[in-house]
Every structure is written in structure tokens, then in C-alpha cells.
Amino acid sequence: MKVAVVGATGLVGTKMLQVLAERNFPVTELIPVASERSVGKLVEFNGQTFPVVSMENAIEMKPHVALFSAGGSTSLKWAPKFAEVGTFVIDNSSAWRMENQVPLVVPEVNEEVLTSDSKIIANPNCSTIQMVVALEPLHKKFKLKRVIVSTYQSVTGTGQKAVEQLMNERNGIEGETVYPYPIDLNVLPHIDVFQDNGYTKEEMKMILETRKIMNLPELKITATTVRIPTMGGHSESINAEFESKISIQEVIAALENAPGIVLQDNPKEKIYPMPLTAHDKDAVFVGRLRLDESHENTLNMWVVSDNLRKGAATNAVQIAEALHRKGWI
């Protein structure tokens, strides 16, 4: 099994290597790929070291699967070239997500859309992934009608330079900034670029990707995405309205038996999901379950997940595991 990781030296690429090792994915030959300035550097994986190679060299090696985390423009240029030599590309950027012929996959929700011809597969937005994992078992039981989501997103979602900005500000150090304002002791209601409709690109990703993944093209959904000075994971306040009558007991039963979810819902004991406790874990944590007393058949819940793992690296590796189970790689 030849596995390429494109963007292997970045924040998500490094996490992909970690997750591949932890989950014992059957890698016999690792092909780390990064920018030209990183070619020749050594990457450690499972106690061995592998040299970083160029895109062209990686394509010549015809990997069975390539996990991409190198930005949208890189994916648009190079993913088709890998696909041409028979490689399954699992792309973490937003470049391919809304293309009609490209599956947008969260294995717990819609693994069945994968086919042996799906040479380019899109990994969804991090905040979308954790939300649909939490909503899917409830949709199956009660039929989703409308979703209102507000996010509280970690600086790790922006990348290493954002983490450095936060820590520099916290320590009183002048340094490079990636946000338009300070992030420490602050909240930015602004993730990605603003669109003509007043929403940010991140908010529109959540709206459009959720409809595609859950196969609910008419779903009423709105989002507000917010950057906060945390690390460890993204948090979401979700208000979900359903067609059928709901009860907390039935909601708990549906979530307890759903794949990929850990229920943390004991307010009397102050047990609820937090980025601090979700950090470096693969699950989607759900809690603060309560009926919306202002609207019938409507649930409030709090959902937290590590955005670098389930929100990126782990979901990509799970897609690769699905391809392997099906005998396609």
C-alpha cells in the first residue's frame, strides 16, 4: 500500500501521519510530499524516516491513495494528475467539495456515495463534519426540518501561524499576524472572506456542504461562524427543528447508539463537551441536550470535536479505510 501525504510538513499533514500510524493503516511505503523548499527533508513515520519528494516524483510512484492537505489551488492543479495514474485522492481543501461528480464524504453519514470510480474525494469542512455526525442519527429518527448553528472555532483551524499569533499576544511578543485584529482576549465573528450576501465563506460552506452530505438539498439551515482564542477543537451551538415529535429520552437513545459520537450530558455533575477534553481525540462529543421551549419539536445541543483530527485528518483516513474495506485500494 503506497500512501502519499501531500502537505506532509503542515499542521494537518503532520496530524494525518499521526492518525495513519495510530489507526494502523496498512502503509507499506509512505510518500511525503511538500513544497519544493521542503524536498529532501526527512519525515518520520512508524519509526522510519522517509524523504519529502516533489509532486512530479510522487505521481511517478503511482500511490494507491493520496491524502491532500496543501490548499485549494494546489489541489485543483495536482489532484487530477494523481487521479490520471489511478490514485484515489482524498482532498482536505474546499476546491472540489461542491463539484457534482465529486463525493463529499463523512463515513458515519454517507459512505455509500463512494464508488470505485471516485478518484477524487472531498473531505468536508471541519465544522461541517462534526455537525453532520451529530445530526444524522437524529435526522434518521425524527427527520430534520431546520438548523441554526453558531460556531466557536479554534485558532488551529487557521493554521500554525494563527497559533503563533495567539501565543505571541498572550506573552506580549511582537510578531506576524494572520487575523485583522488581536485574537487573545477577543472574539472574531469573521472566518474566511465575506460574501456578497453578508455571510462569510465559512458560513456558506457549512450551509451548502451539510445539504450535500446529508442529501437534503432543500434543508433550511443558517450559520454564524466565530473564531475564539482556544486550541483543541471547535465548539458548536446547534438548534435543530424536526418534523416529528421529539423527547430527550429518544434523543439520548439515538445519540448513544450512533457511530463516532460520545455523549457527555450530565449538567448536575458539570459534565459537558469542551475543547480541552476533546483535544487529540477522534470522537464527536455531544451534550447540553435540551428541548427548545420557544419552538416545538426543536432541540438545543452543544457539539465539540478536535478540528485537526475528526475535522480533517481522521475523517480523511476513515475515507481511506472505507476504500480499503471495499477492496479498491
226 three-state secondary structure: coil
CA gyration radius for the chain? 20
**Given this model, what pLDDT does residue 35 score?**
87
Residue length of the chain: 329
Report CA torsion sign: 135, 318, 273, 149.
negative
Rama region for 268: left / alpha / beta (φ>0; ψ in -120 to 50; rest): alpha
Do 46 and 100 fall within a single domain? yes
Do 39 and 173 fall within a single domain? no
- The count of domains in the chain is 2
**Given this model, what pLDDT does residue 36 score?**
85
Looking at 64, 126, 295, 324, which residue is catalytic?
Answer: 126
**Given this model, what pLDDT does residue 139 score?**
98
Q: Structural domain of residue 302, as residue ranges?
A: 127-307
Do 241 and 131 fall within a single domain? yes
Do 156 and 277 fall within a single domain? yes
Amino acid found at 44: E
Do 145 and 219 fall within a single domain? yes
**Do residues 286 and 259 make contact, with C-beta atoms less than 8 angstroms apart?**
no
240 three-state secondary structure: strand
**Given this model, what pLDDT does residue 28 score?**
94
Do 80 and 169 fall within a single domain? no
**Given this model, what pLDDT does residue 31 score?**
98
**Do residues 282 and 262 make contact, with C-beta atoms less than 8 angstroms apart?**
no
**Given this model, what pLDDT does residue 111 score?**
97
Do 160 and 55 fall within a single domain? no
Do 50 and 116 fall within a single domain? yes
**Do residues 296 and 311 make contact, with C-beta atoms less than 8 angstroms apart?**
no
CATH number of the domain encompassing residue 158:
3.30.360.10
What's the distance, CA 132 to chain centroid? 11
Report pLDDT digits (tens) over 34-85: 988 889 999 999 999 999 999 999 999 999 999 999 989 999 999 999 999 9
CATH number of the domain encompassing residue 321:
3.40.50.720
**Given this model, what pLDDT does residue 113 score?**
98
**Do residues 99 and 219 make contact, with C-beta atoms less than 8 angstroms apart?**
no
Rama region for 32: left / alpha / beta (φ>0; ψ in -120 to 50; rest): beta
**Given this model, what pLDDT does residue 322 score?**
98
Whether 234 is catalytic is: yes
Distances (CA, A) of 107 to 1, 90, 123, 158: 21, 13, 10, 24
Low-confidence ranges of the chain (pLDDT < 70): none
The three cell numbers of residue 85 are: 495514474
Looking at 190, 234, 279, 295, which residue is catalytic?
Answer: 234
Do 65 and 166 fall within a single domain? no
Do 303 and 317 fall within a single domain? no
Distance separating alpha carbons of residues 21 and 17, to the nearest angstrom: 6
Do 253 and 146 fall within a single domain? yes
What is the pTM for the complete model shown?
0.96
Rama region for 297: left / alpha / beta (φ>0; ψ in -120 to 50; rest): left
Do 158 and 279 fall within a single domain? yes
